[in-house]
Amino acid sequence: MNYFIIGFYALLIGGSSLAAFYQKRTAFLLLFSVTLVSFVMGIVGGESALWAVTILAGIIAFSAGVSYSFREFLAIILPKESAKIMRTAPLTAAFGLFIIFTYAITGIFAPIIAPYGESEIISQAFEPANDEMLLGADQLGRDMFSRIVYGARNTVGLALIATFLAFFIGAIGGLLAASKGGKFDQVMSRIVDVVMSIPSLIFALLLLSIFGTNVVTLIIVMAIIYAPRVFRLARSVAGNIVVMDYIEAARLRGEGTWYIIRKEVLPNATAPLIAEFGLEFCFVFLLVAGLSFLGLGIQPPTADWGSMVRENATLISFGEITPLIPAGAIALLTVAVNFVVDWMLYRSSGLKE
């Protein structure tokens, strides 16, 4: 048994004992659980397994520190009311906001951050990483790091535009259906039911095979597929609002449908709709990446994370993790958005600590 293993268990047991002595229940349960898991992993995997636990714990601790610092930074620069809300945000939400902020900066300033163009061939195919290429080259000799940076603009940007369009169509339709009711509501609901009954991936493949795979068509197809989901939520939320007395009073005053939607219904439905926007973005983002992986999404030579996984998948057979980097970028953004959405849903539900 070497000094690393002795120090590893000494720190965990010492930390657990201190947490128990000062009656820090949460910290004690966490540290002692890690101690038990590490003990089992040490028996099964030896020192390498303990190193894996140490690295993972370091990554989690680093992420928690960054999240805390970013939350305090936002609390300082935001207005008083927003700062008060931000200080009550959990670290998971702060982590999600930090990741979203990082992706946004990367996408906006992609030409400045990337050392090469997204389609610029600078070396031989699959050249390993060196001083000029941080992640090596792809199957055509293009810089992988530059293409990943540009992919943040292309993949995320297209998904964001498609989500805005789907959300606009679905929210307007749902609010109108709930406000008008009658035959209009019935017809719209049946159309939405038909569209939602078709699996999204199959529907997207069918439409893109018919109308082509250019960017405009891709955005419209994404909007058609996901607008019904927003419609159903908006209709459900607005349906509980339009039966209120103040809505009836507005109608008796002679207010029109658009006035009631804009001034009475929408302000009371904002919180769940904003949370739904985050969820819809995740669905659209993953579908765009999946279509690109299948060859029907964003087309070459435009950099896209989904197509980059497909194009460089052969490197996995040689023990290279390069194709996993764009896949990890997709997963990280999805998790980050879900963290923020969970926090927003918690706040909109009215639950208190």
Do 29 and 177 fall into the same domain? no
The last residue of a domain, from among 88, 104, 129 = 88
Do 70 and 206 fall into the same domain? no
Residue 127 lies inside a defined structural domain of this protein: no
CA–CA distance, 221 with 218 (Å, rounded to integer): 5
Do 193 and 280 fall into the same domain? yes
The last residue of a domain, from among 52, 72, 88 = 88
Do 152 and 289 fall into the same domain? yes
CA–CA distance, 189 with 11 (Å, rounded to integer): 60
Residue 276 lies inside a defined structural domain of this protein: yes
Which CATH number do you get for residue 152? 1.10.3720.10
Do 20 and 148 fall into the same domain? no
Do 55 and 160 fall into the same domain? no
Do 159 and 12 fall into the same domain? no
Do 80 and 173 fall into the same domain? no
Q: Across-strand partners of 142?
A: 121
- The angle at the Cα of 232, spanning 229 to 233, to the nearest 5 degrees, equals 90
Q: Which helix (H) or strand (E) holds 324?
A: helix 324-348
CA–CA distance, 30 with 16 (Å, rounded to integer): 8
Confidence at residue 260, expressed as pLDDT on a 0 to 100 scale = 80
Q: Which domain holds residue 203?
A: 144-348
Residue 139 lies inside a defined structural domain of this protein: no
Annotate 186-221 with DSSP letters as a single string: HHHHHHHHHHHTS-HHHHHHHHHHHH---HHHHHHH
The last residue of a domain, from among 88, 114, 130 = 88
> CA neighbours within 13 Å on the CB side: how many for 12?
20
Residue (of 72, 70, 160, 73) closest to 108 by Cα position: 160
CA–CA distance, 344 with 85 (Å, rounded to integer): 11
Q: Across-strand partners of 121?
A: 142
Residue 138 lies inside a defined structural domain of this protein: no
* Contact in structure between 52 and 8 (CB atoms under 8 Å): no
> CA neighbours within 13 Å on the CB side: how many for 145?
16
Do 324 and 179 fall into the same domain? yes
Residue 293 lies inside a defined structural domain of this protein: yes
Residue 289 lies inside a defined structural domain of this protein: yes
Do 222 and 328 fall into the same domain? yes
Residue 72 lies inside a defined structural domain of this protein: yes
Number of Cβ within 10 Å of residue 313's Cβ equals 15
Number of domains in the chain: 2
Confidence at residue 353, expressed as pLDDT on a 0 to 100 scale = 43
Confidence at residue 297, expressed as pLDDT on a 0 to 100 scale = 81
Do 82 and 151 fall into the same domain? no
Do 183 and 320 fall into the same domain? yes
Residue 353 lies inside a defined structural domain of this protein: no
CA–CA distance, 52 with 157 (Å, rounded to integer): 35
Helices (H) and strands (E) in the chain, counts: 15, 0
Phi and psi dihedrals of 122, rounded to 5? -125, -5
Residue (of 38, 91, 99) closest to 61 by Cα position: 91
Q: Which amino acid, residue 277?
A: F
Angle separating helix axes 215-241 and 182-196, nearest 10 degrees: 130
Angle separating helix axes 47-77 and 91-108, nearest 10 degrees: 80
Q: Which residues of the chain have pLDDT under 70?
A: 1-2, 4, 349-353
pLDDT digits (tens, 9 = 90+) for 53-107: 778 878 888 888 889 899 888 888 888 888 888 888 888 899 999 999 999 999 8
